[in-house]
Structure 1
Amino acid sequence: MPARAPVPDVSPATAAPTVDGGDPLARERAHLAASRAALRAMRKDVESLDIKDVTANWVNAAVLRSQIEDRIKALADLAHTPLFFGRLDYLHTAQEGQRFYIGRRHVHDAGGDPMVVDWRAPVSQPFYRASRKDPKDVGLRRRFGYTGGELTAYEDEHLTDPSEAEQTSRLLQAEIERPRVGPMRDIVATIQPEQDEIVRSGLSGTVCVQGGPGTGKTAVGLHRVAYLLYAHRERLARTGTLVIGPNRSFLHYIEQVLPALGELEVRQSTVDDLVAHVEVRGTDTPTAAVVKGDARMAEVLRRAVRSHVTLPTEPLMVVRGSRRWRIPAYELEEIVRELLDRDVRYGSARDALPQRIAHTVLVRMEQAGEAPDDRVQDAVARNAAVKAAVKAIWPPVDPAKLVLRLLSDAEFLAAHAEGVLTPEEQDTVRWDRPARSVKSAKWSAADAVLIDEATDLVQRTHSLGHVVLDEAQDLSPMQYRAVGRRCSTGSATVLGDLAQGTTPWATSSWAEALSHLGKADAAVEELTAGFRVPREVIAYASRLLPHMSPGLAPVSSVRENPGSLSVRPVTGDLDAAVVAACVESLGREGSIGLIAADARVPALAAALASAGLPHLSPGEETTAASRLTLVPASLAKGLEYDYVVLDEPAAVVTAEPDERTGLRRLYVALTRAVSGLTILHAQPLPPQLT
């Protein structure tokens, strides 16, 4: 049996012989204290660096000082975050007889010898992958338990001992089930083998992770970023990384994960933030949003942009000194058609046109016996007549004005949407009241994506080294294209669950989504083992799957928590019953989420206030003193609470434009609980649940 020291939140077990003599727990505590002292010394060494005579100028000095400040922040000792959570004792190979402590960051002593090894290092990998079938040369794997930052327990697995039976780690289970107060935590101590394979997959390939509620897909994506920054730091420092979430509440919930792992420079954004070329003040009908988000709009925009090019009909006369050089219209047309056939960005082709014209003039000069050089070509390209010709042939295009005209001018839209959009679809996307200017227009979120597409047609969008896209199932094809532009020369980690797609344009398959993203060759991995949502709760929610996502495998939860589900019909005052359920949940440890259809939120907020129960809004950080959050169902995706009180499931379903979307919204709401779910309903439950 694995050896354990007693710990308040883990049942004590009979101790088996360990590899340590004396008191093993005291030894480990001493190593923790020494490691913390070594980390403080590392930080002090960085703080004491003198760079006065190191840099050549003030710019270099400022850059170096910024790097030093970042390093100091990364070396902070977080009192309530365990410095290490595991230990590996190797048997043979290059690490024969060596012992490695696995933690969130690397710590070394004054002589440079490691006291804690970063969880991302190759030598740490067996902590997540080793098993009795494949021990990977590890004799002992030890896990540590902490209470309030203090090391209080250990648990050993002798991987090469045939007499020791395989069993679930209770420390691991306790860490997974630890109450959730505050923002999302990292999972470095609990990463499972199938998750670790995704985390450590290479930078060159794009990975798509299909995972149901509680499978840890978001955490896997964030830890993959941390791993890639460790393994390819210099490259990603040049090209950049980005995490994209569905809304700012979600980003606020996950924002502490990467800093806790020592990664401070990863930018976070929503898709709306990425395409914020104009102020969004309007909304679309679902039908209009679906058409605007359709990939066919890319072709409409491409045609509209290229329509600004006018084939020349007059020759061009270039005067240089006493000589005149004539370029006939047919030669100019050949130059223009060649640029169009190459299908390069509109702006790049416009920049190339004067140089192409100038080169044609230089050929004539050489034929006349002159010997012009590159300076002459540049001068000809800047010639007033050439500039005028370029402006007439290939005028500049303002992307926002282009989209404004498409949405306002029926004839312009019809000319470029012919054979692409039906007349009915054209009527759907066209504004009833055309705007006079870009600033006065009431742009919608879908319009902003169209402007982003047009902007890229004019000038290439900067590509990052790696992008993580979470809750990806809810993106439209045009939104996928917008994200794909940000990683066109890099890679991506795509995270989502097809069963949780709640937008009218939600994707029906990952193959389709990845094609729009520009990553059709991405590997699709599926996580089906749930670690957070109790088995009783996920089984109840999975009743909806055949009705909304046929063929999708249900999550198989590893957590057994009898009594975690309570379904209560209410015959009296529903608001009062909901408040009472919240009071009941507040009597337990952990965070509480009250989830309701958006239209029910004001009434429930008033009921909570009348009862003297303060509550938070999604995105606000829960604390020990403030643990109740009132969550509109439309914002629940990606969030987790220890206990969830779900108000009126039927109202959640009927709030959506169609039943399938409503069932998916309900599925999301049902699976936000990680310890217990209480459902209260005055109306009959949706028949799919009964």
Structure 2
Amino acid sequence: MTIHHPAYKEEQDRLEKTVHTIEKEIGQLREDLREATDDYVKQVVNSSKARDLFHLESSVNKPYFGRVDFMKDETYEMDSVYIGKRGIVERDTMDSVVVDWRAPIASLYYSGESKDAFYRTLQGIVRGEVKLKRNFAIEDGQITGIYDGALKETINREIGAPEDFLEEGYIDEFLASSLNQNNDSRLKDIVATIQTEQNDIIRAEKDRAIVVQGVAGSGKTTIALHRLSYLIYNYQHLIASKKFMVFAPNKLFLTYISDVLPELGVEDVQQATFSEWAAKQVKALLPKGWRIVDPSKPLLLFFEDDASKQVQKRQTWNRMSFKGSVHCRNMLDKYMDYLLHELITYKDLRFIYNKTKHVFEMKKVDIRQLFINEFAHLPYHRRIEALAKHVKQQMTQQLFTHLREEKIDLDKPSLLRFEKKMDELLALYLGKWPEIDAFTVYTQLLQDWELLRKLTSEDISDKWLQDVVETSKAIIEEERIEAEDLAPILYLRHLLEGSGKEAPFDHTVIDEAQDLSYLEILVLSLHTKNESMTIVGDLAQGIHAYRGLDSWQPVLRNIFKKKTDFYTLEQSYRSTIEIMNWSNEVLQGTQLSEITDAKPVLRHGEEPLFLRAKNQSNMLEDIKKRVEKSLACGHQTVAIVTKTIHESKKIAKALKEKGLELHHLGVKDKEFPGGVTVLPAYLTKGLQFDVVIVLHVDDEHYKENVMDAKLLYVTMSRPVHQLLLYIQGDAKVTPWLKTKAAAIQEI
């Protein structure tokens, strides 16, 4: 390949010199590691060297991807910095050969196109002028492309047609070449193509919660993981990767993202679904024999089309939506007030010490004031401990004052007996107060309509609460709780016991956060140090509407004590303009607030196909033919999507019988195999494929309700290159795509 760039020879020479430096360092590290040792310190050092070796070996063929020339204002010195996934230092001279993308100076590469620039260091702000930004495409130690002036500001769509931008070169060539690549079964890093708005999120302040509303394909997941990498690199003396936590919607998704973590230098990070993590916390509180209901069951109820279950759906919706809501949090807070003001009987505390015949006492009004007001900052059980300690101190002080005034001299055994009597008295006094544990209180509350009504806002109707109580009773009588109960129980435990002296997580990432409830996010914030959280999601993809969020406002206003940063990402880097235009049409029909159209990066492709088959056999034959053609064209991942798990099993079986090699994915699967995959629509969330084929896009499967609209939008926004929609027989088109009915082709 001939590269027509005036700096090609200079840059290729520089690349070869860098590769030589890396190979030399690899050889030295291999030599060091050959020396086996039993010494613990040397083992730790060798472990670090082994990690360095792994990263160098993965960098040798592609050591960097960018260059920035920066002239400092104060010294007029020109720094020419090459930026890669890992920093590389020449061992003999300690000169920096490649700068780590997470280093402060590397932020210049990702910032906008203004020549006046700056970067922050621990010593302060360094200002200057960017003289050059350059991208490199490198394969096997050879430069295959050089792009100057890359990483443009987000394109202003208002000043011209897409074609004008392409002709005038406004699109970032380097980014465009990356987006056109085919997609395999794993998430990739984006360190070479991070855009300005993404960079702002990645490098945001550590001790602050940030919430990101990002459209499909905006890179939310990738940004969150790169933020982890950035925080670990820049704050390694303050935080530990083993105390980082990533929450994702399911095990399949966790597997999908796991491969990219080591590449980003994010090792030992904990990963879990919220239900999995919370169940471990709650199981210790459950009586023997109690179980947690499979969290996938409600999802199947709402997406399976069964007209006979409408009442069950309504009751389940009301029950689950209440349990994760602000209303439930407020109800639990009010229960604590009810406990303090009505359940506890405050009485005078009197104690006559026979040895001195002195009466020690505290008035109930003083005890009440101490417990409710003075110790208000403490959880319930620690209040009791604080009250007992305070009373004991007061009585001891009274005793010594009395002894001094009466000139009485008590021996040590007498003082010990006094202390023992006080302990017995306090135990007797406090033993009459209610014994409270989170699980018992919570399950009793769910079954007590009158108390629930008393503690709950009037915004919640009687009918809604009746649904909560009646259906909860049935579950509790079977000695079961459901996944939606976990967050309220943990929050109540926090009110009663606190969350421990030190939060277990240094930083928490919540991906697909729109499908967590308000109360679940609140609980995670209570387990995270300094509210250091990255919360990413898309309200348009909230397919768990019965339990998730329909607005970010409760999270932004009612969880965090400190200021929360909110970012909106509207640029989509996944799908072509043609695919996103179809997907956006579904969203536009919902007219939902806080939701905007995805703005696709300027990449054109094939128009989506809307196909009508005579019958299922006809449809399956056509699918088989088109899948085989896609694979022959070099596409690596094809998704065949049904609405329900039941339909996906039938379609997978039928296509296998026709000779198509494929995998079927269900709720409990943990591995994303790549290739051709048949799966239900709700499992596609967060994933992407080269080609997506959506079956039964009719008014029976995707009805005129917001939940179905969001589910359809999720599936249609998964493909990188091609989207095919099928309808069968005389079925009518879903109302969400009625304007596309004229585009249907008969097969």
Q: TM-score, normalised by structure 1?
A: 0.85
Whether 1:69 and 2:47 are equivalent positions in the alignment is yes
The 1-side partners of 2:221 and 2:519 are apart by: 23
The 1-side partners of 2:481 and 2:134 are apart by: 57
> 2:555 maps to what in 1?
513
Give per-residue Cα distances to partners, 1:428-471, cap 9 Å, x unaligned.
Answer: 12255848989x62211111122111111112225333222221
> 2:202 maps to what in 1?
199
CA contact (8 A) 1:404 1:435 kept: no
Let me know the Cα RMSD of the aligned residues: 3.5
Q: Of 182, 186, 204, which aligns to 2:185? A: 182
Whether 1:261 and 2:264 are equivalent positions in the alignment is yes
Match runs of 1:203-242 below 5 Å: 203-237=206-240, 240-242=243-245
The 2-side partners of 1:347 and 1:459 are apart by: 6
Cα distance change of structure 1 residues 321 and 635 upon mapping to structure 2, 3 Å threshold: farther
Q: Per-residue deviation at 1:664?
A: 0.8
Cα distance change of structure 1 residues 581 and 325 upon mapping to structure 2, 3 Å threshold: farther
Whether 1:454 and 2:492 are equivalent positions in the alignment is yes
Q: Per-residue deviation at 1:653?
A: 5.0
Q: Of 385, 409, 413, which aligns to 2:425? A: 385
More deviation, 483-492/379-388: 379-388
Q: Of 533, 538, 541, which aligns to 1:500? A: 541
SS at match of 2:387: helix
The 2-side partners of 1:681 and 1:154 are apart by: 44
> 1:361 maps to what in 2?
395
CA contact (8 A) 1:39 1:77 kept: no
> 1:443 maps to what in 2?
481
More deviation, 382-391/634-643: 382-391
The 2-side partners of 1:51 and 1:281 are apart by: 49
Q: Per-residue deviation at 1:152?
A: 4.5
Q: Per-residue deviation at 1:171?
A: 3.6
Match runs of 1:317-466 below 5 Å: 317=351, 326-328=360-362, 330=364, 333-334=367-368, 337-339=371-373, 342=376, 344-370=378-404, 379=419, 383-393=423-433, 395-410=434-449, 413-414=452-453, 416-417=455-456, 421-432=460-471, 434=473, 441-461=479-499, 463=503, 464-466=505-507
The 2-side partners of 1:223 and 1:567 are apart by: 37
The 1-side partners of 2:362 and 2:462 are apart by: 41
Q: Of 488, 491, 515, which aligns to 1:474? A: 515
> 1:567 maps to what in 2?
610
SS at match of 1:234: coil
CA contact (8 A) 2:210 2:534 kept: yes
CA contact (8 A) 1:358 1:380 kept: no
CA contact (8 A) 1:569 1:681 kept: yes
CA contact (8 A) 2:323 2:485 kept: yes
The 2-side partners of 1:79 and 1:91 are apart by: 29
CA contact (8 A) 2:248 2:511 kept: yes
Give the counterpart letter for 1:390 in structure 2.
L
Q: Per-residue deviation at 1:84?
A: 2.6
The 2-side partners of 1:392 and 1:17 are apart by: 87
Q: Of 640, 646, 649, which aligns to 2:697? A: 649
The 2-side partners of 1:264 and 1:419 are apart by: 48
Q: Of 240, 245, 249, which aligns to 1:246? A: 249
The 2-side partners of 1:87 and 1:414 are apart by: 62
Give per-residue Cα distances to partners, 1:295-340, cap 9 Å, x unaligned.
Answer: 1212322344555552233634375966665325526633554458
Q: Per-residue deviation at 1:568?
A: 1.3
The 2-side partners of 1:238 and 1:186 are apart by: 18
Q: Of 663, 667, 687, which aligns to 2:709? A: 663
Cα distance change of structure 1 residues 376 and 477 upon mapping to structure 2, 3 Å threshold: farther
Cα distance change of structure 1 residues 431 and 568 upon mapping to structure 2, 3 Å threshold: same
The 1-side partners of 2:417 and 2:103 are apart by: 55
Q: Per-residue deviation at 1:584?
A: 3.0
SS at match of 2:694: strand
The 2-side partners of 1:299 and 1:639 are apart by: 36
CA contact (8 A) 1:305 1:397 kept: no
The 2-side partners of 1:362 and 1:369 are apart by: 11
The 1-side partners of 2:111 and 2:242 are apart by: 31
SS at match of 1:144: strand
CA contact (8 A) 1:362 1:377 kept: no
SS at match of 1:677: strand
Cα distance change of structure 1 residues 240 and 688 upon mapping to structure 2, 3 Å threshold: same
> 2:643 maps to what in 1?
597
The 2-side partners of 1:187 and 1:380 are apart by: 66
Whether 1:311 and 2:345 are equivalent positions in the alignment is yes
Cα distance change of structure 1 residues 678 and 166 upon mapping to structure 2, 3 Å threshold: closer
The 2-side partners of 1:597 and 1:95 are apart by: 62
Cα distance change of structure 1 residues 322 and 369 upon mapping to structure 2, 3 Å threshold: closer
CA contact (8 A) 1:25 1:153 kept: no
CA contact (8 A) 2:242 2:270 kept: no
Whether 1:85 and 2:64 are equivalent positions in the alignment is yes
Q: Per-residue deviation at 1:674?
A: 0.8
> 2:685 maps to what in 1?
637
Q: Per-residue deviation at 1:358?
A: 0.3
Give per-residue Cα distances to partners, 1:633-679, cap 9 Å, x unaligned.
Answer: 11111111111111122378547xx6111101100100000111111
More deviation, 302-311/197-206: 302-311
Cα distance change of structure 1 residues 437 and 109 upon mapping to structure 2, 3 Å threshold: same
CA contact (8 A) 2:64 2:98 kept: no
Cα distance change of structure 1 residues 426 and 380 upon mapping to structure 2, 3 Å threshold: farther
Give the counterpart letter for 2:326 in structure 1.
A
SS at match of 2:217: coil
More deviation, 610-619/537-546: 610-619
The 1-side partners of 2:77 and 2:218 are apart by: 35
> 2:743 maps to what in 1?
none
> 2:292 maps to what in 1?
280
Q: Per-residue deviation at 1:66?
A: 5.8
Q: Per-residue deviation at 1:231?
A: 1.6
Cα distance change of structure 1 residues 205 and 313 upon mapping to structure 2, 3 Å threshold: closer
The 2-side partners of 1:168 and 1:247 are apart by: 35
The 2-side partners of 1:381 and 1:633 are apart by: 67
Q: Per-residue deviation at 1:272?
A: 1.3
Q: Per-residue deviation at 1:601?
A: 0.9
Whether 1:617 and 2:665 are equivalent positions in the alignment is yes
Match runs of 1:521-560 below 5 Å: 521-550=563-592, 552-560=595-603
CA contact (8 A) 1:180 1:642 kept: yes
CA contact (8 A) 2:693 2:725 kept: yes
Query: Which segments of 5 or more consecutive residues in structure 1 lack a partner in the other structure?
Result: 1-5, 7-11, 53-60, 160-164
SS at match of 2:628: helix
SS at match of 1:650: coil
> 1:586 maps to what in 2?
631
The 2-side partners of 1:320 and 1:489 are apart by: 52
> 1:302 maps to what in 2?
333
Q: TM-score, normalised by structure 2?
A: 0.79
Q: Percent identity?
A: 21
More deviation, 165-174/562-571: 165-174
Is the helix fraction higher in 1 or 2? 2
CA contact (8 A) 1:561 1:675 kept: no
The 2-side partners of 1:516 and 1:239 are apart by: 29
> 2:162 maps to what in 1?
none
**Paired residues, what number?**
655
CA contact (8 A) 1:226 1:263 kept: yes
Give the counterpart letter for 2:137 in structure 1.
G
Match runs of 1:71-220 below 5 Å: 72-73=50-51, 75-77=53-55, 83-88=62-67, 90=69, 92-93=71-72, 96-111=77-92, 112-129=94-111, 131=113, 133-134=115-116, 137-147=129-139, 149-157=140-148, 168-220=171-223
> 2:125 maps to what in 1?
none
SS at match of 1:209: strand
